[in-house]
Structure 1
Amino acid sequence: MEAATLQKRLGSAMRERRTALDRSQESFADLIKMHRAYYSAIERGERNITLHTMYRVARGLGVSVKDLMEDARL
Protein backbone atom coordinates (compact mmCIF):
# COMPACT_ATOMS: atom_id res chain seq x y z
CA MET A 1 0.00 0.00 0.00
CA GLU A 2 1.26 3.50 -0.86
CA ALA A 3 2.43 5.82 1.91
CA ALA A 4 -0.08 8.50 0.86
CA THR A 5 -2.95 6.03 1.26
CA LEU A 6 -1.74 5.06 4.73
CA GLN A 7 -1.46 8.70 5.75
CA LYS A 8 -4.97 9.49 4.47
CA ARG A 9 -6.47 6.52 6.28
CA LEU A 10 -4.78 7.49 9.53
CA GLY A 11 -5.79 11.14 9.13
CA SER A 12 -9.38 10.14 8.48
CA ALA A 13 -9.43 7.97 11.62
CA MET A 14 -8.07 10.89 13.64
CA ARG A 15 -10.72 13.23 12.20
CA GLU A 16 -13.52 10.79 13.03
CA ARG A 17 -12.33 10.46 16.63
CA ARG A 18 -11.92 14.23 17.01
CA THR A 19 -15.35 15.06 15.60
CA ALA A 20 -16.93 12.39 17.81
CA LEU A 21 -15.53 14.39 20.74
CA ASP A 22 -17.18 17.52 19.24
CA ARG A 23 -13.85 19.37 19.07
CA SER A 24 -12.76 21.73 16.34
CA GLN A 25 -9.36 21.30 14.73
CA GLU A 26 -8.24 24.50 16.39
CA SER A 27 -9.32 23.54 19.91
CA PHE A 28 -7.89 20.05 19.53
CA ALA A 29 -4.58 21.34 18.17
CA ASP A 30 -4.38 23.73 21.13
CA LEU A 31 -5.07 20.84 23.50
CA ILE A 32 -2.16 18.79 22.16
CA LYS A 33 0.05 21.87 21.73
CA MET A 34 0.31 21.64 17.95
CA HIS A 35 -0.21 24.30 15.30
CA ARG A 36 -3.69 24.04 13.77
CA ALA A 37 -2.39 24.14 10.20
CA TYR A 38 -0.01 21.27 10.90
CA TYR A 39 -2.74 19.20 12.54
CA SER A 40 -5.07 19.95 9.64
CA ALA A 41 -2.44 18.64 7.21
CA ILE A 42 -2.19 15.44 9.27
CA GLU A 43 -5.94 14.89 9.03
CA ARG A 44 -5.82 15.46 5.26
CA GLY A 45 -3.08 12.85 4.96
CA GLU A 46 -0.51 15.36 3.76
CA ARG A 47 2.02 14.72 6.54
CA ASN A 48 4.02 11.63 7.32
CA ILE A 49 3.96 11.90 11.10
CA THR A 50 6.34 10.45 13.63
CA LEU A 51 5.39 7.92 16.24
CA HIS A 52 5.79 10.64 18.87
CA THR A 53 3.25 12.85 17.06
CA MET A 54 0.87 9.93 16.69
CA TYR A 55 1.18 9.33 20.42
CA ARG A 56 0.39 12.99 21.18
CA VAL A 57 -2.71 12.87 18.99
CA ALA A 58 -3.89 9.54 20.43
CA ARG A 59 -3.42 10.79 23.97
CA GLY A 60 -5.42 13.92 23.16
CA LEU A 61 -8.18 11.75 21.74
CA GLY A 62 -8.16 9.55 24.84
CA VAL A 63 -7.20 6.40 22.93
CA SER A 64 -4.08 4.35 22.31
CA VAL A 65 -1.94 4.45 19.18
CA LYS A 66 -3.11 0.87 18.63
CA ASP A 67 -6.74 2.04 18.61
CA LEU A 68 -5.97 4.68 15.99
CA MET A 69 -4.12 2.16 13.85
CA GLU A 70 -7.05 -0.25 14.08
CA ASP A 71 -9.52 2.53 13.20
CA ALA A 72 -7.43 3.27 10.11
CA ARG A 73 -7.26 -0.47 9.28
CA LEU A 74 -3.45 -0.40 9.29
Structure 2
Amino acid sequence: MLPQFGTAARKNPNKNLNKAVSADAGGAAPEKASVDAAWLVLEAANDLGDQAAVEACRRVIDAELNGTVAGASDLDLVLGYFR
Protein backbone atom coordinates (compact mmCIF):
# COMPACT_ATOMS: atom_id res chain seq x y z
CA MET A 1 0.00 0.00 0.00
CA LEU A 2 1.38 3.40 -0.97
CA PRO A 3 1.51 6.33 1.47
CA GLN A 4 -0.94 9.18 1.02
CA PHE A 5 1.79 11.72 0.22
CA GLY A 6 0.31 13.04 -3.02
CA THR A 7 -3.21 13.37 -1.64
CA ALA A 8 -2.05 15.12 1.51
CA ALA A 9 0.14 17.50 -0.47
CA ARG A 10 -2.73 18.50 -2.76
CA LYS A 11 -5.07 19.37 0.11
CA ASN A 12 -2.73 22.04 1.47
CA PRO A 13 0.65 22.20 -0.27
CA ASN A 14 2.18 24.51 2.34
CA LYS A 15 0.92 22.61 5.40
CA ASN A 16 3.92 20.32 5.75
CA LEU A 17 6.36 23.03 4.75
CA ASN A 18 4.96 25.42 7.36
CA LYS A 19 5.27 22.75 10.05
CA ALA A 20 8.80 21.94 8.96
CA VAL A 21 9.80 25.61 8.99
CA SER A 22 8.24 26.11 12.42
CA ALA A 23 10.11 23.01 13.61
CA ASP A 24 13.27 24.62 12.25
CA ALA A 25 12.64 27.68 14.40
CA GLY A 26 11.92 25.61 17.51
CA GLY A 27 14.82 23.21 17.12
CA ALA A 28 12.58 20.13 16.94
CA ALA A 29 13.10 17.14 14.68
CA PRO A 30 11.66 17.25 11.15
CA GLU A 31 8.00 16.51 10.57
CA LYS A 32 7.28 12.82 9.89
CA ALA A 33 5.48 13.70 6.64
CA SER A 34 8.58 15.45 5.28
CA VAL A 35 10.71 12.39 6.06
CA ASP A 36 8.19 10.09 4.36
CA ALA A 37 8.24 12.42 1.37
CA ALA A 38 12.05 12.37 1.39
CA TRP A 39 12.03 8.57 1.01
CA LEU A 40 9.64 8.78 -1.95
CA VAL A 41 11.62 11.56 -3.60
CA LEU A 42 14.88 9.70 -2.95
CA GLU A 43 13.61 6.71 -4.91
CA ALA A 44 12.39 8.86 -7.80
CA ALA A 45 15.54 10.98 -7.84
CA ASN A 46 17.71 7.85 -7.90
CA ASP A 47 15.72 6.54 -10.87
CA LEU A 48 16.09 9.87 -12.68
CA GLY A 49 19.76 10.37 -11.80
CA ASP A 50 18.98 13.67 -10.01
CA GLN A 51 21.98 13.82 -7.68
CA ALA A 52 21.09 17.18 -6.14
CA ALA A 53 17.72 15.84 -5.04
CA VAL A 54 19.31 12.61 -3.78
CA GLU A 55 21.68 14.59 -1.57
CA ALA A 56 18.87 16.81 -0.24
CA CYS A 57 16.78 13.73 0.59
CA ARG A 58 19.69 12.13 2.40
CA ARG A 59 20.19 15.27 4.48
CA VAL A 60 16.48 15.35 5.44
CA ILE A 61 16.51 11.65 6.33
CA ASP A 62 19.78 11.97 8.27
CA ALA A 63 18.39 14.93 10.21
CA GLU A 64 15.38 12.84 11.25
CA LEU A 65 17.58 9.91 12.28
CA ASN A 66 19.88 12.20 14.28
CA GLY A 67 17.04 14.19 15.86
CA THR A 68 18.25 17.43 14.31
CA VAL A 69 16.62 19.95 11.99
CA ALA A 70 16.80 19.66 8.21
CA GLY A 71 17.64 22.74 6.21
CA ALA A 72 14.75 24.76 4.80
CA SER A 73 16.12 24.55 1.25
CA ASP A 74 16.29 20.75 1.48
CA LEU A 75 12.72 20.59 2.78
CA ASP A 76 11.56 22.93 -0.01
CA LEU A 77 13.14 20.68 -2.63
CA VAL A 78 11.70 17.49 -1.13
CA LEU A 79 8.18 18.81 -0.60
CA GLY A 80 8.01 20.46 -4.03
CA TYR A 81 9.68 17.71 -6.07
CA PHE A 82 6.56 16.26 -7.69
CA ARG A 83 4.88 19.59 -8.45
Give the TM-score normalised by structure 1.
0.40
Greater relative CO, 1 or 2 (CA 8 Å, sep 6+): 1
Give the TM-score normalised by structure 2.
0.37
